[in-house]
Amino acid sequence: MDHFLYRDGVLHAEDVPLAEIAEAVGTPFYCYSTATLTRHFRLFDEALEGMDHLVCYAMKAASNQAILRTLAGLGAGMDVVSGGEYMRALAAGVPGERIVFSGVGKTRDEMRLALEGGIRQFNVESEPEMRALSEVAVSLGVVAPITVRVNPDVDAKTHAKIATGKSENKFGIPISRARAVYAEAAALPGIEVIGIDVHIGSQLTELEPFRQAYQKVADLTEELRAEGHDIRRLDLGGGLGIPYTRSNEAPPLPTDYGALIRETLGHLGCEIEIEPGRLVAGNAGILVSEVIYVKEGEGRDFLILDAAMNDLIRPAMYDAHHDIIPVVEPAPGVEQTPYDVVGPVCESGDTFARGRMLPPLAEGELVAFRSAGAYGAVMSSEYNTRPLIPEVLVNGREFAVIRARPTFDEMINRDTIPEWL
């Protein structure tokens, strides 16, 4: 469920007509709904009610300060994967003890930053990383709390580029080696083992892979406890998928996911962390774009938009589907025609959709890409020297620009000319 609905024939974000925002900020732009963000965060929080838990929003999905602050105000922790994300979380007012640090290649500088600023735990992904972390912690006179991310070798049944839980993926340590790694961890002076971490992939549309992974984590918890490790926290990663089409997709709900966690891991008495990103932000954001031209091709019409692959790369990168809808509601029964929906960037990969059935559209009309709140703005670039597009947050009848479009001068002046030129 989201808060982007037609009202009086015009698409609104909560109580604001999108045309009003387009008028104020120009197109293209990202627009987020506070009500949807809040609703989705709360669904997870409530799904784990009764268990000691913390929902650590995976801020890689959408990391604008205003979004982080909205979620932090609801009690969210954060899952960060870089020094930059760590600083963003702190800047949004999230205390270190609510930040978990994930990622396969944390540098010593990043470790230092987090140990000095405060951190809930590092999710360690390899022995060399664990040794480096121990050294850094010892050099600072502190002890680093860790979980070890285990790779359970289960098939997440998702797109190959976003599956992480198979043995061929670079993530975590093979679960078969876990006991040896925990034994080494226990002996390292700068490390305190507190739990286990697992994350098997993103956009999972079934619960079964989670069940398999979590059962393996339950078994491992008991084995490690038997060997004397104080396993008291389980970080279960993110990955619950969202419906990208309005039609027949029905991925499991956070309540079902919560019930699965309770069933597979509830008896262990551990504190539970989850790291959802997409389900919190995905359907809480849309991308609004204007039709520049409609070009007649051979056997097809091209809808040329002012948004491009640099603004929303998911279709080009993962063949991802995003519903595209006109901002002005089509009259009932209007005949749809197929369009190839493309952007102005100079490569054929800059195609959002082929043969997409849409009502007739003309120059100057607005369209919205649904489900663009997660991995949209954060993955955008200035390719073709196209400015990063504004982000707007709506709250009831109010809206605010939460990231402004840079001017051409701002973009150009980020470059510096060597003195010999």
30 known ligand binder: no
Residue 96, marked binder: no
Q: How far is the CB of 82 from ligand LLP (least distance, A)?
A: 12
In angstroms, the CA 371 to CA 265 distance is 31
Catalytic annotation present for 31: no
Give the footprint of ligand LLP on residues 175-234 (CB under 6 A). Answer: 199, 202-203
Q: Give the orientation angle of helix 34-47 with respect to helix 65-72, to 10 degrees.
A: 40
**Does 88 carry a binding-site annotation?**
no
Short-list 166, 168, 237, 230, CA closest to 203:
237
- How far apart CA 357 and CA 301 sit, in angstroms, is 11
- What residues from 86 to 145 belong to the interface with ligand LLP (CB under 6 A)? 102
Pairing of strands 391-395, 29-33: parallel
Strand 285-296 and strand 391-395: pairing? unpaired
- Binding to ligand LLP in span 240-299, by CB under 6 A: 275-279
Quick one: 171 or 399, whose CB is closer to ligand LLP?
Answer: 171
Q: Is 318 in the site for ligand LLP (CB under 6 A)?
A: yes
Q: Tell me which of 31, 56, 270, 346 is the catalytic residue.
A: 346
- Cβ-based neighbour number of residue 41 at 10 Å: 24
What sign does the CA torsion over 276, 97, 74, 260 have? positive
CB of residue 113 vs ligand LLP: minimum separation in angstroms? 19
- Is 174 annotated as ligand-binding? no
For the chain, the residue count is 421
Binders in 333-392 for ligand LLP, by CB under 6 A: 374-375
Nearer to ligand LLP (CB atom), residue 44 or residue 399: 44
Nearer to ligand LLP, 111 or 279 (CB): 279
Tokens representing 364 are 């100057």
Q: Is 2 a binder of ligand LLP (CB under 6 A)?
A: no
Closest CA to 137 of 212, 63, 173, 191: 191
Q: How far, in Å, are 12, 193, 323, 396, 404 from residue 15 at the CA level?
A: 6, 48, 21, 5, 22
Interface characters, 16-35, with ligand LLP (x: CB under 6 A): --------------------
The CB density around residue 375, as the number of other CB atoms within 10 Å, is 26
Q: Is 172 annotated as a binding residue?
A: no
Nearer to ligand LLP, 237 or 258 (CB): 237
Q: Report the distance separating Cα 304 and Cα 267, nearest Å.
A: 55
Residues that bind ligand LLP (CB under 6 A): 58, 61, 79, 102, 162, 199, 202-203, 237-239, 275-279, 314, 318, 374-375
Binding residues for substrate: 278, 314, 318, 347, 375
Binding residues for pyridoxal 5'-phosphate: 239, 275-278, 375
Binding residues: 239, 275-278, 314, 318, 347, 375
Task: List active site positions.
Answer: 346
